A and B are shown apart, each in its own frame.
With several copies, the nearest count.
Chain A
Amino acid sequence: MSGRSEGTPFAPHTAETTAEMLAAVGVDEEAELFDIPDAVAFDGEFGIPARSEREVIGDLRDTFARNDDLTEFLGRGHYGHYVPALVDDLSSRSEFLTSYTQYQPEITQGFLQALFEYQSMLVELTGLPVANCSMYDAATALAEAALLADRVRSTSGETVLVPEDLRDGKRSTLDNYVDGSSLSVATYPYDDGVVDLDALRDRVDDDVCYVYAENPTVTGAIEENLATVGDVAADNDALFCVGSDVVALGLLREPASAGADVVVGEAGALGLPTAYGMGLGLFACREEYLRQVPGRLVGAGEDAAGMRAYTLTLQTREQHIRKERATSNICTNQAWVALRTAMHVAMLGASGLADLAEDCVRNARDLAADLDDLDGVTAPLHDRHHFREFAVGVDDAPAVAAGLRERGYAVHVLDDGTLQVCVTDLNAGERDGLVAAFAEVTDR
């Protein structure tokens, strides 16, 4: 902001101190310090003018105002829940926001403790004893779990089995992650929205080293036979990985009790507002895989005064120590989102989280019932319990979605005859509006 400064406003140099420093270094100007051969030096311009803070904020406000103002009934892996103001307030404290990886634990106990608390919350939610302090998102967590299977399973199996209906973002990321390994990806089908157990049993054999199941599924169906799926995996010595999210885990039976070896999923559903797909990958597993876990782990230990203290631990798994033999290449992760998620969980508490999760079931049930009352609309499409979201059968899905959009609502189009809607605390108050819009659009 300083009125007459030039160059970056974020360097504190004055003409005087710059001159002193140049003199100390023994050059006349900064350009002399650059050891760049002429042949590769850049003397062009990008043509970007410098702008004031206010201009930048104004420009971007104008840019974002070009988004249409729609009420979103969208989910399928990215969820909006109301984030309390205190989460914004506390997480944006510069001590948290502008710090980095806790290489010096003696002066970063605050963040370490918060991450330790985050890990502990995931342990409670998943029922598994080990949780790392973040993956990028649910897709990369799922893919890292497959690579974990490759490392820890003694079977000769090299097939990774996932649902046919897996969301493309997850499937494609998984394909890329396993492409450098000996693994290959195959699928099993769903039956009316959840795992087709018979088909799954047919597919699982010695060649399978990893079975991935979601609860809730991508269309919001609650998996009724999760433990059976786990048994099928266990019987074939395949690693059983369950995908879920931090809200659903507050109500649904903990995956560990269904035999899950690993739980992955989206944890940013709490703490992070709708953020155009940005997420937080949840990753928890059995104790025996501890030394094969990807990503950072915070542990409790002691300092020289005998006081409990926290530190990054088991770092020999990581790329900066073990290089090409690391458990993953991940370095920068989603720590700050994990901090926010932990804050949000703490604000809800056990009762608040259970209530929020129960509302996800009830709201979905109620919205489905309202939609199902309309002619030509089947909701939910699958005869299952649902969490937050469900598929909807209609005659001409793209046309219905377009009609809803004209009326201010965004929904998913799955195929010509199927939509999907997702309801949370954020849009539950707009339910009647959505139903009325559906009625108008489908009443043709």
Chain B
Amino acid sequence: RYEPLLSEKDGKEVDPGEGSVLPDDLTRDSLELPELSEPELARHYTRLSQMNWSVEAGPYPLGSCTMKYNPSFTDVVAADPNAAVHPDRDPATVQGNLELLHGLQGYLADIGGMDAVTLQPPAGAAGEFAGITVAKAYHEANGDDRSEVIVPASAHGTNFATAAMAGYDVVELPSDEDGRVDVEALEAAVSEDTAALMLTNPNTVGLFERDIEEIATVVHDAGGLLYYDGANLNALLGRARPGDMGFDIMHYNVHKTFATPHGGGGPGAGPVGVTGELAEFLPRPQVREAPDGDGYELFDPERSVGKVHGFLGNWLVLVRAYAYIHRLGDQGLLDASAKAVLNANYLAERVEFDVPYGPFHHEFAATSGDRDAADVAKRMLDYGVHPPTTKWPEMVPEAMLTEPTEAESKSSLDDLAAAFNAAAADSVEELETAPSKTTARRIDQADAARNPRLSWQALGESPDDS
């Protein structure tokens, strides 16, 4: 179903300078925007919403994205008007907000086995950047000039990009044949140039790095730090903690592990936890109890790296994450990882495509073999589900990385498996021409990239002038 662009409905051009108290040379001569009534806008966005998949529409098993159910009650706490304050308020006048931040720092530190946590990074990748920046500051403070960050080939793309952004050379580490870190290769890779190893555990095909203690020893012995990418933390809630495994730095993806809504791409939040040794390098400000025991205060860690966000990060996301942890408690967190892992293993069992490696934690990578994984995914759309992440990680050919999360029921997993299996049985032609039951048919992304039109200004007048 087609919904015209706002610009194809009523619009208006005004001269903002006309009648302004500002001199003419400071103001624009023209502003042209859609100009629609409230009822028309209500319908526009309602229709757009009807053309969008969501967790409340059905299973959304994007591997590494942890699309779990986002509880409605967190909308209520995020909307509390008393919390809607300006970040430059005197800390003494926003004790409620500081109390929440302090509480969340504590919850996350406990859950990750870390000593100190910053809540400032506004997303997972921003958390990686903050964490690697802390590592860099640590080495620099030690007069240690290190130039490399080691990243397993199967790692999230953000790990590579973050290390590069922070100015490091990236050393890519191959997997062993079991799909895990090849410890011998790691031993060969580490050197006095090694600033850090960035690692996800369980890794991106759902395997726990059983040699984690040995890995930690290798990295630490070389003078490097061990960085934990928290994207897969949902698998370990209450059962294992990065701090206990030897990680020095970690980020948390609260929109994954702690059920804050993904909002069509964000906002998320990427708090960073560190061991005590690194706490003095964390971004400023941090929250602590006031020395007189009277409330909370902000302070700048002694050798802080400074800031990674203009203010205090994605507050509304942090509030929801706190509320979620506060609601579940130990018992709920433990059960979340239990059911997330059970679901992944159950679904892996039910899917008829090959599923290499194992045993799995929260996700698994099936392979579509001689079929194109992206085509299989398009076909799954016709079966009424959202497909998995495709063609990644590369260690599994034609990978379909599948993470059902704990939010799916057995019957929902059975439906998902049926969609996989139906696509497996379909002809190549059926796959290549899919989908046919969706709002839009297969979209030519290559053409869209060759001929980029990124605004309504870049389009012609008529809706079918595409």
Verify if B60 is at the interface (C-beta below 8 Å from A). Answer: yes
Tell me whether B107 and A46 are in contact (CB under 8 A): yes
Verify if B339 is at the interface (C-beta below 8 Å from A). Answer: yes
4 additional contacts (CB under 8 A) given A25-B349, A167-B310, A346-B41: A8-B336, A64-B83, A94-B57, A332-B270
Interface stretch (choices A199-207, A296-304, A372-380, A429-437): A296-304
Report if A9-B38 is in contact (Cβ < 8 Å); known contacts: A64-B97, A111-B264, A276-B315: yes
* Residue interface mask A313-351, B partner, CB < 8 A = 1: 111101111111110111111111101000101111111
Report if A95-B50 is in contact (Cβ < 8 Å); known contacts: A78-B311, A136-B122, A301-B448: yes
A20 vs B69: C-alpha distance when bound (angstroms): 22
A395 CB contacts on chain B under 8 angstroms: none
Query: Looking across the interface, which residue of chain A has its beta carbon closest to that of B344?
Result: A33
A14 vs B439: C-alpha distance when bound (angstroms): 31
Query: Looking across the interface, which residue of chain A has its beta carbon closest to that of B92?
Result: A68
| B407 contact from A12, A106, A322, A346, Cβ within 8 A | A12
A423 CB contacts on chain B under 8 angstroms: none
Interface stretch (choices A52-60, A154-162, A230-238): A52-60
Verify if A274 is at the interface (C-beta below 8 Å from B). Answer: yes
Tell me whether A253 and B27 are in contact (CB under 8 A): yes
List 20 A-B residue pairs with CB atoms under 8 Å apart, sorted by A's residue number: A7-B332, A9-B38, A10-B68, A30-B338, A66-B95, A67-B96, A78-B87, A86-B41, A99-B262, A106-B443, A113-B48, A169-B309, A179-B133, A275-B84, A277-B87, A277-B312, A299-B454, A304-B441, A320-B156, A350-B12
Verify if B276 is at the interface (C-beta below 8 Å from A). Answer: no
Verify if B408 is at the interface (C-beta below 8 Å from A). Answer: yes
Tell me whether A136 and B444 are in contact (CB under 8 A): no
Query: Looking across the interface, which residue of chain B has its beta carbon closest to that of A179?
Result: B167
Tell me whether A410 and B306 are in contact (CB under 8 A): no
Report if A61-B80 is in contact (Cβ < 8 Å); known contacts: A8-B328, A330-B125: yes
Query: Looking across the interface, which residue of chain B has its beta carbon closest to that of A349?
Result: B35
Tell me whether A104 and B308 are in contact (CB under 8 A): no
State how many angstroms separate the Cβ of B113 from the closest Cβ of chain A: 7
User: How many residues of chain A have a CB within 8 Å of chain B?
Assistant: 194
A316 CB contacts on chain B under 8 angstroms: 449
Verify if A443 is at the interface (C-beta below 8 Å from B). Answer: no
A133 CB contacts on chain B under 8 angstroms: 265
A121 vs B34: C-alpha distance when bound (angstroms): 9
Query: Looking across the interface, which residue of chain A has its beta carbon closest to that of B382?
Result: A106
Report if A307-B464 is in contact (Cβ < 8 Å); known contacts: A8-B336, A21-B346: yes
A319 CB contacts on chain B under 8 angstroms: 125, 156-158, 160-161
Within 8 A of B (CB), among A261-320: 273-279, 290, 296-309, 311-316, 318-320
Within 8 A of A (CB), among B394-417: 406-413
State how many angstroms separate the Cβ of A108 from the closest Cβ of chain B: 5
Tell me whether A350 and B13 are in contact (CB under 8 A): yes
* Residue interface mask A173-214, B partner, CB < 8 A = 1: 101110111000000000000000000000000000000000
Tell me whether B339 and A335 are in contact (CB under 8 A): no
State how many angstroms separate the Cβ of A129 from the closest Cβ of chain B: 7
A34 vs B359: C-alpha distance when bound (angstroms): 8
Tell me whether B85 and A276 are in contact (CB under 8 A): yes
A228 vs B123: C-alpha distance when bound (angstroms): 37
B392 CB contacts on chain A under 8 angstroms: 320
Tell me whether B47 and A253 are in contact (CB under 8 A): no
Report if A13-B410 is in contact (Cβ < 8 Å); known contacts: A95-B57, A107-B438: yes
Tell me whether A358 and B165 are in contact (CB under 8 A): no
A330 CB contacts on chain B under 8 angstroms: 123, 125-126
| B168 contact from A180, A296, A336, Cβ within 8 A | A180
Within 8 A of B (CB), among A344-395: 345-351, 353-354, 357-358, 361-362, 365, 385
Tell me whether A323 and B124 are in contact (CB under 8 A): no
A95 CB contacts on chain B under 8 angstroms: 49-50, 52-54, 56-57
Query: Looking across the interface, which residue of chain A has its beta carbon closest to that of B442?
Result: A304
* Residue interface mask A79-101, B partner, CB < 8 A = 1: 01000111011111111111111
Report if A131-B455 is in contact (Cβ < 8 Å); known contacts: A57-B77, A276-B97, A319-B157: yes
A298 CB contacts on chain B under 8 angstroms: 454
Interface stretch (choices B217-225, B237-245, B423-431): B237-245
State how many angstroms separate the Cβ of A303 from the closest Cβ of chain B: 4
Verify if B329 is at the interface (C-beta below 8 Å from A). Answer: yes
B56 CB contacts on chain A under 8 angstroms: 94-95, 98
Verify if B435 is at the interface (C-beta below 8 Å from A). Answer: yes
* Residue interface mask B94-118, A partner, CB < 8 A = 1: 1111011000000100110100000
State how many angstroms separate the Cβ of A66 from the closest Cβ of chain B: 4
How many inter-chain residue pairs (CB < 8 Å) link A and B? 708
State how many angstroms separate the Cβ of B394 from the closest Cβ of chain A: 11
Q: How large is the interface on B (under 10, 10 to 19, 20 to 34, 35 or more residues)?
A: 35 or more
Within 8 A of A (CB), among B151-195: 156-158, 160-168, 170
| B350 contact from A24, A98, A351, Cβ within 8 A | A24
| A123 contact from B67, B122, B439, B457, Cβ within 8 A | B457
Interface centre among B20, B80, B377, B449 (most CB of A within 10 A): B449
Within 8 A of A (CB), among B431-466: 433, 435, 438-445, 447-449, 451-459, 463-464, 466
State how many angstroms separate the Cβ of B20 from the closest Cβ of chain A: 6
B310 CB contacts on chain A under 8 angstroms: 77-78, 137-140, 167, 169-170, 173, 277, 279
Report if A129-B458 is in contact (Cβ < 8 Å); known contacts: A40-B213, A78-B311, A89-B72: yes
B68 CB contacts on chain A under 8 angstroms: 10
State how many angstroms separate the Cβ of B91 from the closest Cβ of chain A: 11
Tell me whether B27 and A252 are in contact (CB under 8 A): yes
A114 vs B392: C-alpha distance when bound (angstroms): 28
| A46 contact from B82, B110, B448, Cβ within 8 A | B110
Tell me whether A339 and B264 are in contact (CB under 8 A): yes
Report if A12-B54 is in contact (Cβ < 8 Å); known contacts: A35-B361, A66-B95, A85-B76: no
* Residue interface mask B236-262, A partner, CB < 8 A = 1: 101111001110000001010001011
Verify if A438 is at the interface (C-beta below 8 Å from B). Answer: no
B145 CB contacts on chain A under 8 angstroms: none
Query: Looking across the interface, which residue of chain B has its beta carbon closest to that of A94?
Result: B56
A49 vs B208: C-alpha distance when bound (angstroms): 28
Tell me whether B306 and A332 are in contact (CB under 8 A): no
* Residue interface mask B1-41, A partner, CB < 8 A = 1: 01101110011111011011111011110011111111111
Query: Looking across the interface, which residue of chain A has its beta carbon closest to that of B94?
Result: A67
Tell me whether B349 and A24 are in contact (CB under 8 A): yes
| A11 contact from B44, B51, B319, B335, Cβ within 8 A | B335
A17 vs B323: C-alpha distance when bound (angstroms): 28
Tell me whether A40 and B244 are in contact (CB under 8 A): yes
Tell me whether B342 and A18 are in contact (CB under 8 A): yes
A180 vs B336: C-alpha distance when bound (angstroms): 38
Report if A31-B240 is in contact (Cβ < 8 Å); known contacts: A64-B82, A110-B48: no
Query: Looking across the interface, which residue of chain B has its beta carbon closest to that of A266?
Result: B310
Report if A140-B76 is in contact (Cβ < 8 Å); known contacts: A105-B443, A309-B440, A328-B165: no
A48 vs B441: C-alpha distance when bound (angstroms): 48
Query: Looking across the interface, which residue of chain A has its beta carbon closest to that of B70?
Result: A98
Tell me whether A299 and B449 are in contact (CB under 8 A): yes
| A45 contact from B21, B207, B241, B330, Cβ within 8 A | B330
A309 CB contacts on chain B under 8 angstroms: 440-441, 443, 466
Interface centre among B40, B65, B125, B264 (most CB of A within 10 A): B264
Verify if B299 is at the interface (C-beta below 8 Å from A). Answer: no
A168 CB contacts on chain B under 8 angstroms: 307
| B386 contact from A7, A24, A104, Cβ within 8 A | A104
Verify if B268 is at the interface (C-beta below 8 Å from A). Answer: yes
A326 CB contacts on chain B under 8 angstroms: 157, 160-161, 164
A353 vs B38: C-alpha distance when bound (angstroms): 15
| A336 contact from B246, B266, B359, Cβ within 8 A | B266
Tell me whether A111 and B52 are in contact (CB under 8 A): yes
State how many angstroms separate the Cβ of A11 from the closest Cβ of chain B: 4
Report if A98-B157 is in contact (Cβ < 8 Å); known contacts: A24-B346, A116-B456, A129-B457: no
A1 vs B7: C-alpha distance when bound (angstroms): 18
